[in-house]
Structure 1
Amino acid sequence: MATITSKSSKLSSRGQVVIPADIRKKMNLNSGDKLNFKIDDFGQLTINKLPTDNDWQKLIAEIPVEKVVKDKDGKVDAKKSPDFAAWMSGNDDAY
């Protein structure tokens, strides 16, 4: 079962809230990070850290890259681009 961390903070007259240090550390929040605020139909507020440029770069770096080669008829050459051909055919077992 997940551990739930609960802390309270006071809203300032300017609408600002201090996020407690242990929560900032747990969420890896740093000065300048962007946050997303969402409220549901029950009035439940959720705050999420938005991905940084570095987060996106790391994610993109993990995506496998395969050059797509076409044959003389303009169709994907399955021998030279096997993962792409399998993906296009819906054969998930191939990769």
Structure 2
Amino acid sequence: MTKNNFESLTTRLSSKGQVVIPAEVRKQLGLSVGDQLSVDIDKNNNIVLKSRPTPLEWHDLIKNIPIEDVDIDKEGHYDAHKSPHFDEWMREK
């Protein structure tokens, strides 16, 4: 058994370049029809699929990000008192 609770599974590449993700994997990862996946190649030439956040997950990720207008002049200066969250972000290391 792997750390993913299932043995290594095999799938095939179709003539259209499609790959079926086995049901066990979809279930464990909570993947549903229409979910978006990103496809990458790692340094060992392995294909890496990553699930993309759903619109609801994006909402939950960004809901606590403060919204404020930041006026920056031609020299790149802004008023830290009018844009405290931006100022805090700019000072992070």
Tell me which interval the TM-score lies in, with the shorter structure as reference length: 0.5 to 0.7
Q: Is it true that 1:76 corresponds to 2:79 in the alignment?
A: yes
2:42 is equivalent to residue 4 of structure 1: no
Supply the RMSD in Å over aligned alpha carbons: 3.2
Give the SS at the match of 1:56.
helix
Partner in structure 2 of residue 31 of structure 1: 33
Aligned-partner Cα distance in 1 for 2:13–2:80: 63
Structure 1 spans left out of the alignment, 5+ residues: none
Letter paired with 1:76: D
* Residues 34 and 50 in structure 1, CA contact (< 8 A), matched pair in contact too: yes
Q: State the secondary structure of the residue aligned to 2:27.
A: helix
How far 1:82 sits from its partner (Å)? 4.1
In 2, distance between residues paired with 1:82 and 1:42?
A: 44
Which of 1 and 2 has greater Rg? Answer: 1
User: Which shifted more, 49-58 or 11-20?
Assistant: 11-20
Q: How many residues align?
A: 85
Q: Percent identity?
A: 39
Using the size of structure 2 for normalisation, the TM-score is 0.60
TM-score for both structures, normalised by structure 1: 0.59
